[in-house]
Chain A
Amino acid sequence: MSCRRLGWLSLGLLLSPAVRPTVSHAQATLEARAAEGNGAPETLALSDEQLTIRIDRQYAETNLRHTFTNGSDTRLEGQYRLRAQQGAEVQQFAYWNGEEKIVGEVFEKQDANRIYDNVTGTGRDPGLLERTGEGSFAFKIFPIEAHEQKRVEVTLHQWMKRSGGAVEYRVPLGSDNHRIVVELHDERAIAHLQSSTHALTTERLPNGSYRLRAAPQKGQRQFVLRWEPTEPPLLLSAAKHKDAGQDGYVAMQLVAPPSVQQARAPKDVTIVLDHSGSMNGEPLAQAKLAAEEIADALVPGDKVNVISFDDGADRLFARPQPVTDETRRQTLSYLRAITPAGGTDIALALRLALASQTPEPGRSALILFLTDGQSPTAPVFEALRNDRSATRVFTVGLGHGVDRALLQKLAEQKRGRFTYVESAAAIRPEVTRLWKSLEEPVLTDLQLEASGGVIKRIYPKTIADLAPGEELLVVARVASEGPMSVKLTGQMGGKPVQFSTVVDGKKDESRPWVGRLWAEERVRDLLAEVAFVGESAELKQETIDLALAYDLVTPYTSFLAIPETELSGATKQLYASAKQRKADRLAAHPDAIALSRNAMPPGDPILLVKAPRDAKQVTATFPFGLVKDLVYDETTGCWKTRFLVPNTVADGHYYADVVVIHADGAREDLMALYKIDSKEPAFDVKLEKRAGGLWVVVDTAEEVRECQAMLVGTASTRIVLQPVGAVGKGRFAGMLPTHADLGTVRVVVADTARNEAIVEVGIE
C-alpha cells in the first residue's frame, strides 16, 4: 500500500477543481481489491446497516454501523467512503478485525507520521481517516479476509439550524437493510415530528425524550426527520456544559421574527465575481444567475457596480451608480458577457472594490465577493490594512478548493459574513438567502454582553445581521460565581432591542457537545489566523491541544486507527507512548494560559495570557520578585509580556501568578507553571557493531529534545538518534554509518530546556 499522506488531503488531488453537483444517492461504500493484485476495485455488498441517532436540541450525534461482505475467496484491502450531510464531522471511527475493535484516535501529526511509517514499513496499512470533502470522509481497511463480514463504525455529529421554524435531520442510507433508532431530547415542546421518508413508531421515555424507530423502506437511500421546537418568539435560550473546576461553555440561540415593519435602507452594492478558469461551467453560470437576481432585486435609491476578476480585474463602473433602468440593463448585460478564463487574484479584486466605494452618511456600502479560488494571503491582508472604510464585505466561497480560512477572515475583518457553498446547484439558493439577510435584515447591530460573570471567546466573532426567520447560534466560554445575565442587544425595525438569558457559570452541567461546538469554532478561528498572519508556535499549540481534546482533524493532527495486537515491539511502544503523550497533553491542557517555553534555563521567555481584549488589566507576578503588566497583542489575540529569569534563579518548578481584571471589574486568577532547568541531562551510551554499521543506543533519564551521535573527526557520520521507547524520553538509537574498529563516538544529548551533555565512548 502506498498512501502515505496524513491528515487533510488536498482535494485538488481527488476532485476536479470545479464545484461538483450534489450527489443525492447512498453514500456509505466499501470498495476493495485483492491485497496482492492491481485489479479494479469492487464495491462490497452492504449486508447490514444500523443507525443510532441521538439528538439533543438541534445537535445530532449519529452512530453508523455498517457490515460489508467479502463474497470472494480472496483477502482484500478496502477503502471505506462516507458522504454525509454538509456540516457533519466525524467524531469517532472504528472497524473490526474479527472480534477486535480497532478504534480511531486523533494524534499529533508527528506522532501519527511515525506510527504510520512504522506500520506501513511492516506491510500493514493503518486506518487513516481522510477528509475528502465537505461532510465526506474515507479510510483504508486491511485485511478483509475471504468471506469475512467486515464491520465498520462511524460516529458523526452536526448542528442543525432551524429554517422556517423547523429543524430537519438528514442522513444517507446505503442499503435496504437499514435499522434506525432515534432518541430526541429537547426541553422545548416539540410539534409536527414526522419523517417524509420512513414510517415511524414513537415512544415517550420517562425523561421526556422521544424514541423513534423507522421501519426499513425498500429503495429509500436517505432518512429525513423533521420537527418544530415550540418556544415563545424572540427567546434567547442557552445550553451549557461545565466540567468541575473549569470555565463553562455555552451555546445560545435566537430565531429572528418572520417580518418586521421597517423602511428599507438604501444600499451601495458591489458584486465581485470570480470568473477564473476553475469557475468554468455550472459554477459560473449559477453565480452569474445569482448576481443577476441581486441586480434585479435592487430598487431606485440603491447603487450598483460589478467587478469581475481572474488574475486581472475589470469593473463595470468606476464607482457604484444609482439604480435606474439603464444601469440595471448595463449590469445584467455586463454579467451575462462574463466568460471563464485565467487564475485568481483575490487581493487585486478586493483592492479595486474597496477603492471604488464612495461612502455617504446614511447609506451602507456592501461588497458581495464570490470566488472558488485561493490566493496569497499577504496582499489581502495589506489591502485590508490600507482600507479604513466602513464598507462591509460578505464572502461566498464555492466548492472544495476555495480558501475558506482566507474568506472567513476577510469577512470577519470587514464586519461581514462568510458563506460556504459546496455545490454549484446550491449557489443560487445560498446567495439568495444571503442577499435576503442583507436586503432586509430584521435584527441588526447585534452584540453580546454579560453581567455578573465573564463571557469570552465568543463565536462568531462578529454577529451578522439576521434575515427574517433566520436562527442565530453563538458559542462562548463563560465563568461566573453564580447566575450571570447574558444580553443580546441590537436593533429591530430601527429600535433598540434586548434579549437576555441567565447562565449559571458556576454550576457543573454535562452537555459535552456544547464544548465541542465551541472547540470546533475556536480551531476554525485559529486556523484562519494561521492562514492570515502565518503560523506561530502559540496558534499551533492551541490548535493541537484542542484537536487532541476533541478529536478534531486539523493540519496538525491526524485520525488513526491501529490494530494494536498486530504491532511489533518497537511500533507498539511508539503507539503507547504517543497515547501517553496525548494523555499528558490533555491532562495539562493549557486552555487559558501559555508560555512560549515551559522548560528553560534562565532566559527571556514570553508569557501569553488569553484574556479578553477589553480587560482592564492583566498583571503577572513572578516568584523572583518581578511584577509585569501585560499588553494586549492584536496578532495573537493574547495579552503578552516578555520577562527575564535571572541566571541566579535555582532550578525547580515555579508558578507565575496572573491576575486578570475584566472590563466589568470581575477578577480572574490564573497560574502559569514553568520549570527552570539548567542541569545537563544524564544518559548512558552503548555501542554494538552490526552489519550496517555501529548501532548506538542512548538511555536517558529525562525528556529529551534531541540526541545526536558522530564518529569523532568524521562529520559525515553525524546522525540524529530516534526514540525507540517513550517518545521524548527513554531510549534512543540509530545506526552510525561506520565500520571503524577503532575510534571514538561522541554523543550529544539536549534536554527540553536545551541543556546539553556530551559523552564520548571508545569503539572496542
Chain B
Amino acid sequence: MRAGMTQLATLTTTVLALGSSVFAERTLYTNTQAVEDVLVVGDRLFVATQGGLEQYDLPRRLRTGLVTTEDGLPSNFVRRVFTDNGAVLVAVGDGVCQLGAIGQTTRRRATCRSVPPERHAAASLPTPSLYRGARVTAEATWRGERVRGTATAGVWLGELDLTPMQSICSNHIVAIQDHFLGRTWFGSFDEGLCSLDASGWQRAHGPFRMINDLMVAGDTLYVASSEGLFATTDGEVFRRVLTGNDAVADLAYDGKRQRVLAVTNTTLYAIPLTGARRRPVATFRPGGARSLQSVAVDPTNGNVWLASEDRGAIRIAGKETTGFDALTGLPTSWAIEVAVVDGTAYVGTLRHGVFALPANATSATEARALPALAHAWTLAVTPRRQGGVLVGTQAGWLAVVDGAVRSPIAARATENPPHGSIHVIYEADRGAIWIGSEGGTLRVDHPEDDAFEKTRAPHAALAQPLQTASQN
C-alpha cells in the first residue's frame, strides 16, 4: 500500500542562473528510492537519499519536502542525517550542511561547511538484511512502528511505502530524447528507461538496464544499451535490432541515406530504414579502432564521424577513411564524443578537452583546441540548434561553444549543476535545455533570455592551434 497522495519528486524554483541579468526557470528531477539514512524527530521523518533529503509528516504519511542542490546542498547524494542542538544536519560529499531549526517550513536553504572526509572502509561487511527484496540501509521507530530505509525501494513505515511513486527512474541520466509518443524519454546509467509528460513519469520495461544513447527516427525510438540495440514503436514492446548482445555505445541518424548508425566497441552498423534489404551493414574496426564510443553524421554531405578510445576521431567519406589521433597530431587518441555542425567536427576527449576540426580536414594538425575547456574531462558534445555545440564535462561545466572554428568562442559553466559530471545535454522544443548528470536531471526553460547566450568571449578564449610535441 502506498501513501494516499503522491507528489512529483520535483521542485520548481526561479534562481539566478548562468548570468547576472535575467532569470531562467529550473526544474530538478531526482529519484529518492535509494535511501542512505533515516531520522525521526517527533512526528517528522527525515530521509537521506541519493536524490536529496526528504521530509515526511508521519501522521499524514505524506512527503512534505525535498531539499536538493536547488536549495543549496552541494550534492543530492545525502549520506547521513542527524540532529545537533536542535538543528538538522546532513552529511553531503565532504561537508555538513545545516538546514536550520526544525519548524513547519518545508523548504530551506542549506548552509554548508567542509569537514574531514569520512573513511569508507568496508573490511568486514555485515550480512545485509532484506525488506521487500531490497537491502535495508537504515532503520528507526516511530510510535512503535518500524521505519525502514532501503537501497532500492525507498522508505517504509511498517507495511506502507512512503516514497512517492512518481519519479524519474534514476539520478544518473545519460540520454534524453523527445518527439516520441508525445513524451520525453530518459535513458539511465543502470536503471533502464523512463518517460515524462504532463501526466507524470512512467517506467518502460525493456530487456535493458544500462542505457548509452536514445534516438528517434520516424515513429521508432531506438535504445542503445550495454545489453544491445533495441527499437520500439509503442514504448512497450522492444525488439532487438542487432543480433547478439554486444553493448551499443551510440546512435546517429543519417537522413540522406535513411539509415540508423550504431557503434559497438569494434563495429559500425548501418541499419537501412527503407528499401527491400534492411539487413544491417557492418564495418568491423573502422580506421583500426577497437573501442568505438560515438557516431555522428555530417548533415551537409552524409560523411560519418566516429569517436574512439584508441584511434581518436575517424571520418568515413565514401570509401575513404581518415583518422585523427595522437599519432597523426592530436594530443590524445581517446575521444569520447563527436558532433558535426556547420562544417566543423567537434571532438570531445576523455581528458584533453574539445577540439574543433574542419569537417574537410586532411590532417589532425588542422584541429584547434578550445582553451576554455582545456584539460576538461569531456562527457557530452551536443549540436546546438543555433550553431555550435553544448559541452558537458566532469567539472560541472555546461559550455556553449559558439560558431565555427575561427569564430569567437563562449564557454561558461552553468551555475549550481545538480552534479559535477554532466553526461547529456538535450535541447528541447522552445529552447528548453535538459541537463542529465550523475546526481539529478535539470530542465532549464527560457535559457535564451540568459546573458550566457549573448556573451562574447574575451580574446583569450579564441580557438588556439594545437601544441603538439613536434611543435614544442
Question: Taking the complex as formed, is B350 at the interface, i.e. its CB lies under 8 A from any CB of chain A?
Answer: yes
A98-111 interface bits toward B, Cβ cutoff 8 Å, 1 = contact, 0 = none: 00000000000000
Candidates B122, B227, B333; contact of A750 at CB < 8 Å: B333
Nearest A residue (CB) for B352: A756
Q: For the complex formed, measure the closest distance between the CB of B83 and the CB atoms of chain A, giving whole angstroms.
A: 23
A-B contact count (CB 8 A): 107
Contacts of B469 in A (CB 8 A): 746, 758-760
Instruction: Tell me whether A536 and B120 are in contact (CB under 8 A).
Output: no
Candidates B125, B210, B310, B331; contact of A706 at CB < 8 Å: B310
Instruction: Tell me whether A748 and B333 are in contact (CB under 8 A).
Output: yes
Instruction: Tell me whether A629 and B135 are in contact (CB under 8 A).
Output: yes
Instruction: Tell me whether A647 and B333 are in contact (CB under 8 A).
Output: no
Contacts of A758 in B (CB 8 A): 326, 331, 468-469
A611-630 interface bits toward B, Cβ cutoff 8 Å, 1 = contact, 0 = none: 00000110101111101010
Contacts of A359 in B (CB 8 A): none
Q: For the complex formed, measure the closest distance between the CB of A152 and the CB atoms of chain B, giving whole angstroms.
A: 40
Question: Taking the complex as formed, is A13 at the interface, i.e. its CB lies under 8 A from any CB of chain B?
Answer: no
Question: How distant is the Cα of A617 from the Cα of B153 in the complex, in angstroms?
Answer: 14
Candidates A623, A715, A756; contact of B122 at CB < 8 Å: A623
Q: For the complex formed, measure the closest distance between the CB of A679 and the CB atoms of chain B, giving whole angstroms.
A: 12
Q: For the complex formed, measure the closest distance between the CB of A528 and the CB atoms of chain B, giving whole angstroms.
A: 14
Residue of B244, B245, B331, B350 contacting most chain A CB atoms (<10 Å): B245
Instruction: Tell me whether A534 and B122 are in contact (CB under 8 A).
Output: no
Contacts of B172 in A (CB 8 A): 644
Instruction: Tell me whether A533 and B245 are in contact (CB under 8 A).
Output: yes
Contacts of A647 in B (CB 8 A): 377, 394
Candidates A642, A746, A754; contact of B309 at CB < 8 Å: A754
Nearest B residue (CB) for A626: B120
Instruction: Tell me whether A659 and B127 are in contact (CB under 8 A).
Output: yes
Nearest B residue (CB) for A635: B245
Candidates A601, A644, A746; contact of B470 at CB < 8 Å: A746
Interface residues of B in 313-345 (CB under 8 A from A): 323, 325-329, 331-334
Question: Taking the complex as formed, is B130 at the interface, i.e. its CB lies under 8 A from any CB of chain A?
Answer: yes
Candidates B121, B209, B309, B333; contact of A631 at CB < 8 Å: B209
Instruction: Tell me whether A744 and B470 are in contact (CB under 8 A).
Output: yes
Candidates B122, B207, B470; contact of A657 at CB < 8 Å: B122
Instruction: Tell me whether B326 and A756 are in contact (CB under 8 A).
Output: yes
Contacts of A623 in B (CB 8 A): 120-122
Nearest B residue (CB) for A665: B127
Q: Is the interface of B mostly helix, strand, loop or mixed?
A: loop
Interface residues of B in 177-234 (CB under 8 A from A): 189-190, 207, 209-210, 226-227
Question: How distant is the Cα of A180 from the Cα of B47 in the complex, in angstroms?
Answer: 77
Instruction: Tell me whether A760 and B227 are in contact (CB under 8 A).
Output: no
Question: Taking the complex as formed, is A598 at the interface, i.e. its CB lies under 8 A from any CB of chain B?
Answer: no
Candidates A606, A624, A710; contact of B327 at CB < 8 Å: A710
Instruction: Tell me whether B394 and A641 are in contact (CB under 8 A).
Output: no
Question: Taking the complex as formed, is B250 at the interface, i.e. its CB lies under 8 A from any CB of chain A?
Answer: no
Candidates B127, B244, B377; contact of A534 at CB < 8 Å: B244
Question: How distant is the Cα of A377 from the Cα of B240 in the complex, in angstroms?
Answer: 13
Contacts of B227 in A (CB 8 A): 633, 635
Residue of B79, B128, B323 contacting most chain A CB atoms (<10 Å): B128
Interface residues of B in 123-157 (CB under 8 A from A): 125, 127-128, 130, 133-135, 151-152
Question: Taking the complex as formed, is A449 at the interface, i.e. its CB lies under 8 A from any CB of chain B?
Answer: no
Nearest B residue (CB) for A706: B310
Q: Is the interface of A mostly helix, strand, loop or mixed?
A: strand
- CB-CB under 8 A for A657 and B125, given A617-B130, A627-B151: yes
How many residues of A are counted as interface, with CB atoms below 8 angstroms from the partner's CB atoms? Answer: 51
Nearest A residue (CB) for B119: A625
Candidates A534, A622, A642; contact of B245 at CB < 8 Å: A534
Question: Taking the complex as formed, is A740 at the interface, i.e. its CB lies under 8 A from any CB of chain B?
Answer: no
Contacts of B30 in A (CB 8 A): none
Nearest B residue (CB) for A376: B243
Question: How distant is the Cα of A669 from the Cα of B125 in the complex, in angstroms?
Answer: 9
Instruction: Tell me whether A616 and B130 are in contact (CB under 8 A).
Output: yes
Instruction: Tell me whether A536 and B246 are in contact (CB under 8 A).
Output: yes
Question: Taking the complex as formed, is A278 at the interface, i.e. its CB lies under 8 A from any CB of chain B?
Answer: no
Question: Taking the complex as formed, is A378 at the interface, i.e. its CB lies under 8 A from any CB of chain B?
Answer: yes
- CB-CB under 8 A for A754 and B128, given A533-B245, A642-B189, A647-B394: no
Question: How distant is the Cα of A635 from the Cα of B469 in the complex, in angstroms?
Answer: 46
Contacts of A203 in B (CB 8 A): none
Question: How distant is the Cα of A667 from the Cα of B126 in the complex, in angstroms?
Answer: 10
Instruction: Tell me whether A642 and B246 are in contact (CB under 8 A).
Output: no
Contacts of A616 in B (CB 8 A): 130, 133
Contacts of B377 in A (CB 8 A): 647
Question: Taking the complex as formed, is A664 at the interface, i.e. its CB lies under 8 A from any CB of chain B?
Answer: no
Instruction: Tell me whether B243 and A534 are in contact (CB under 8 A).
Output: yes
Contacts of A634 in B (CB 8 A): 207
Q: For the complex formed, measure the closest distance between the CB of A403 and the CB atoms of chain B, giving whole angstroms.
A: 15
Candidates B120, B323, B333; contact of A624 at CB < 8 Å: B120
Question: Taking the complex as formed, is A708 at the interface, i.e. its CB lies under 8 A from any CB of chain B?
Answer: yes
Residue of A621, A715, A756 contacting most chain B CB atoms (<10 Å): A756
Contacts of B309 in A (CB 8 A): 754
Question: Taking the complex as formed, is A661 at the interface, i.e. its CB lies under 8 A from any CB of chain B?
Answer: yes
Question: How distant is the Cα of A302 from the Cα of B139 in the complex, in angstroms?
Answer: 60
Question: Taking the complex as formed, is A296 at the interface, i.e. its CB lies under 8 A from any CB of chain B?
Answer: no
Interface residues of A in 700-748 (CB under 8 A from B): 705-706, 708-710, 712, 715, 718, 744, 746, 748
Instruction: Tell me whether A629 and B151 are in contact (CB under 8 A).
Output: yes
Question: Taking the complex as formed, is B291 at the interface, i.e. its CB lies under 8 A from any CB of chain A?
Answer: yes
Nearest B residue (CB) for A535: B244
Q: For the complex formed, measure the closest distance between the CB of A399 and the CB atoms of chain B, giving whole angstroms.
A: 26
Question: Taking the complex as formed, is B70 at the interface, i.e. its CB lies under 8 A from any CB of chain A?
Answer: no
Question: Taking the complex as formed, is B298 at the interface, i.e. its CB lies under 8 A from any CB of chain A?
Answer: no
Question: How distant is the Cα of A377 from the Cα of B323 in the complex, in angstroms?
Answer: 35
Q: Which residues of A contact B (CB under 8 A)?
A: 377-378, 533-536, 601, 604, 606, 616-617, 619, 621-625, 627, 629, 631, 633-636, 640-642, 644, 647, 657, 659, 661, 667, 669, 705-706, 708-710, 712, 715, 718, 744, 746, 748, 750, 754, 756, 758-760
- 8 residue pairs, one from A and one from B, having the closest CB atoms: A534-B244, A625-B120, A621-B122, A378-B243, A748-B326, A642-B190, A748-B327, A635-B245
Q: Which residues of B contact A (CB under 8 A)?
A: 79, 118, 120-122, 125, 127-128, 130, 133-135, 151-152, 172, 189-190, 207, 209-210, 226-227, 243-246, 291, 309-310, 323, 325-329, 331-334, 350, 363, 377, 394, 438, 468-470
Give 12 CB contacts A-B under 8 Å: A617-B135, A621-B125, A629-B152, A633-B227, A635-B227, A642-B190, A647-B394, A669-B125, A709-B327, A715-B323, A754-B291, A754-B309
Other than the given A534-B243, A535-B244, A760-B469, 17 more pairs (CB < 8 A) read A535-B246, A536-B244, A606-B210, A619-B151, A621-B122, A629-B134, A629-B152, A635-B227, A640-B209, A644-B438, A647-B377, A657-B122, A657-B125, A710-B328, A712-B470, A754-B291, A759-B469
